[in-house]
Structure 1
Amino acid sequence: MASTRDRALAAALQLVGEQGIRALTHARVDERAELPKGSTSNWFRTRDALVAGVVAYLAESERAEFSTAEMGPVDTPEQLIEALTAMIAVQTGPLAPRTRARYALFLEGAGDADLLAPLLVQRRVFVEWTVALLARIGARSPEEAARALMAAGDGLVLHRVTVDPHAEIRPVVERAVRAALD
């Protein structure tokens, strides 16, 4: 069973993903996590501490999932297209609230380097993974291609979690991957 702290953080992440950063209060987290009143404030004395805890929890959770994710081999452009399409489908489908929370937390931390640090570490891991895959499948400039591919992916993810949850994924990913290889 998850610790009280982890229950509070999971509930906080859900709140942010479903209702936005303004919904993040100690009392709402206690209620969502079905914890006694005051439990969340025992772990996180201030709202800033709670936000920082949620950022760290999100980054740690995603890093653990990413490192254990079972993905088939990615040795061809087609395999990369399939892998990215599947990843975006999950991030904008079953994990859409968490994805919205990530965006909200990035914006909340935009002026605070310490708060943003855990999310940026996670981002660097994903950038390195993308660069390595693009190099493996023959991109002439993997770093440049990764920036373009990730920008297209980020735009598609944002579009799906805010405007059009049914926007097609594969055609966008395919075009971005093919362009990354030119």
Structure 2
Amino acid sequence: MTTTRERSLDAAVELVGTHGIRALTHARVDAQAHLPRGSTSNHFRTRSALLAGVAAWIAEQETRDLSAALSRPFDDLDGFVETFSTAIELLTGPYAVRTRARYALFLEAAGDPDVYGPMHAQREGMATWSRNLLTSLGARHPETATRAFMAFADGIALHRLSVDPQAPVRESVAVAVRGCLEA
């Protein structure tokens, strides 16, 4: 059974992911979640607390939803390309609204460690995962390769979220990974 808090968080993600960060108010979240007025503020007293709650919720949901895709074993470059491509397709397909909300929160959170913290921790986890795999695939300069690959991942995700939702992923990921291994 979904709790009032979870309903509020799901509604907040939906609002931010479809209408932008300015749409995030306690009253709008209550309305979106079909909750009595004031329900969201029972869990998140301030807008800052609501932003922090949404950031942590997104990180938790993404970790849960991507863990299966990212934990598939593989032994070679093609396996890495397939695994990472699947993750990008999930983030920009079925989870596109949540991904848009995450990007909006990143921009909003620059000066708020309570909001930035959970999102940054999740991103660091993804960077560590990518660095380890790029290293295992023979990256000459793993730190540089990881920064370049993470920038590429953000770029392809933003492109699919904003310009071309059907843009092919696998071919681009393959080129990016090969380039990162050579750099």
TM-score by length of 2: 0.93
Q: CA deviation at 1:175?
A: 0.6
Moved more, 22-31 or 96-105: 22-31
- The residue correspondences of 1:73-112 to structure 2 (distance < 5 A) are 73-112=73-112
Any unmatched runs of 5+ in structure 2? none
Contact 2:15 2:29 in 1 (8 A): yes
Contact 1:29 1:40 in 2 (8 A): yes
Q: CA deviation at 1:128?
A: 0.6
> Letter of the aligned partner of 1:18 in structure 2?
T
Counterpart of 2:111 in 1: which secondary structure? coil
| Residue equivalent to 2:175 | 175
| Residue equivalent to 2:156 | 156
| Residue equivalent to 2:165 | 165
Q: Matches of 2:133 and 2:93 in 1, distance apart? A: 24
Contact 1:8 1:33 in 2 (8 A): yes
Q: Matches of 2:85 and 2:64 in 1, distance apart? A: 21
Q: Matches of 1:60 and 1:89 in 2, distance apart? A: 19
Q: Give percent identity, aligned residues only.
A: 54
Q: CA deviation at 1:114?
A: 3.1
1:55 and 2:32 aligned: no
CA RMSD of aligned residues (A): 1.4
> Letter of the aligned partner of 1:44 in structure 2?
F
Q: Matches of 2:66 and 2:88 in 1, distance apart? A: 13
Q: What whole-Å deviation, never above 9, does each CA across 1:63-121 have from its counterpart, x for those lacking one?
A: 33344546432321111111111111111111110110000000000122332111000
